[in-house]
Amino acid sequence: MLGAFASAFRTPDLRKKLLFVLFIVVIFRAGSQIPAPGVHVANVRQCLDAAQTGDSAGLYNLVNLFSGGALLQLTIFALGIMPYITASIILQLLVVVIPRLERLKKEGQSGQTKITQYTRYLTLGLAVLQATGIVALARSGDLLQGCSQPLLHDDGTATFLVMVVTMTAGTAVIMWLGELITERGIGNGMSILIFTQVVATFPTTMWAVKNDKGWWTFAIVIVIGMAIMAAVIFIEQAQRRIPVQYARRMVGRKMFGGSSTYIPLKVNQAGVIPVIFASSLLYLPAMAAQFNQNSQNPPAWVDWINNYFVKGDHPAYMAAYFALIIFFTYFYVSITFNPPEVADNMKKYGGFIPGIRAGKPTEDYLSYVLSRITLPGSLYLGLIALIPLIALALIGANQNFPFGGTSILIMVGVALDTVKQIESQLQQRNYEGFLR
């Protein structure tokens, strides 16, 4: 990996692209530190420190993960990339349900451009809703539980609207920055911005482990983290390759086909999406309980959720989290990989799996392999996601165990994809030099 980056910086064209990506990342992180208009910065920081050491620390860290610490600080980039992630997931689900979107997907580049445009519009709509909710919680004092100080200088309607517009505009700017990276830099822009937000919280969480538990625990966490990262890299690159043979066919006076290839089925076919789904779903009861926390006679279910679902270290929460990840893994794989469509395309172009007849037998075989390979992938995702919760329960890490869950999956996945793209461009330049 380091060799690829060193070779890229020695290549003038790639060096410009990498420096451009670093420039955009600096702008992105700077925007994550600039407070929105009307925010009382001193009170926000004081209340945030108190909230992160309280019983609901796990809840706040979950909310803050995809904003790199910017959400609860009420900055102009407070919403981060989360509205775009949510919009992309919704569009992926709707493509399977709505025939018009499915036709657009099959139209190629023009249809994909239209779906991307719909994703942008949906992102802005979700950003308005999320910004309205966050600012309303900040104005009422419910954003940071147990905080008696006002988070805003003025709780008037004008300030409310200005903050909502500012945060929504910040989301639009983030989308623009991500597209700039994709067009002029290296790698997927949105993925790199997500990677930046997740990595931004690492120094703080690691130093918190050292301050809470001392140097020995800090060293143990580093060793365990390196082992987890190596295992994640190994499994993320693991795949089941199904061989495909294409028969020879005569087109005019030329012979085509006769080649062999394979269908790569990754062990973790769903990526990090099931973990995001499960985290978001389990966050809803905690949010509902938080809205009813300050009432005079809170219902009994509020105490039940506070006891079992807010801290994150209860076995019931862990079991529900694990089960939801397995369910969403199977669900997401079933809608993103379509065995009938793959089998039909293979039959259309004269392809077949050796030993398997084309058509329905090929479809059944692909479904069989996919169901078997999804099971270890779902178990792997569940175990990785539970690592921070187990660390919280065993050593009282206060959710400051960074090597696990969504963060490690995002970091490893984006890093591997970016390095592969760098190596691909390096190979293209080497081939050009060889041909000359």
Superfamily (CATH H level) for 1-200: SecY subunit domain (1.10.3370.10)
Task: Return the pLDDT at 110.
Answer: 83
Q: Token pair for residue 163?
A: 């903050």
Q: Tens of pLDDT along the chain (436 residues)?
A: 566 667 777 778 888 888 999 999 999 988 888 888 888 888 877 777 665 554 444 445 555 666 666 777 788 888 888 888 888 888 888 887 888 888 888 787 788 888 889 999 999 999 999 889 888 888 877 777 667 777 888 778 888 899 999 999 999 999 999 989 988 888 888 888 888 888 887 777 777 777 777 788 778 878 888 888 888 888 888 888 888 887 766 666 666 656 788 888 888 888 888 887 887 777 777 766 666 665 566 677 777 777 766 666 677 888 888 898 999 899 888 888 888 888 888 888 778 888 888 888 888 999 999 999 999 999 998 888 887 777 655 655 544 555 666 778 888 888 888 888 888 877 776 644 434 4
pLDDT of residue 405: 67
Structural domain boundaries in the chain: 1-200, 207-403
Contact 421, 186 (CB under 8 A): yes
Reply yes or no on domain 207-403 having CATH 1.10.3370.10: yes
Q: Does residue 58 contact residue 399 with C-beta atoms inside 8 Å?
A: yes
- 114's tokens: 């239209």
Q: Answer whether 311's CB lies under 8 Å from 58's CB.
A: yes
Rounded to the nearest 10°, the torsion over CA 361, 362, 366, 367 is -30
Report DSSP letters for 63-128, one per residue.
HHGGGTT-TTTTBTTTTTTHHHHHHHHHHHHHHHH-HHHHHHHHT-HHHHHHHHHHHHHHHHHHHH
Burial of 67 per CB tally in 10 Å (0-12, 13-18, 19+): buried
Tokens of 315: 């076995």
* 1-200 and 207-403 agree in CATH topology: yes
| DSSP three-state, residue 35 | strand
Distance CA 189, CA 192 (A): 5
DSSP 36: P
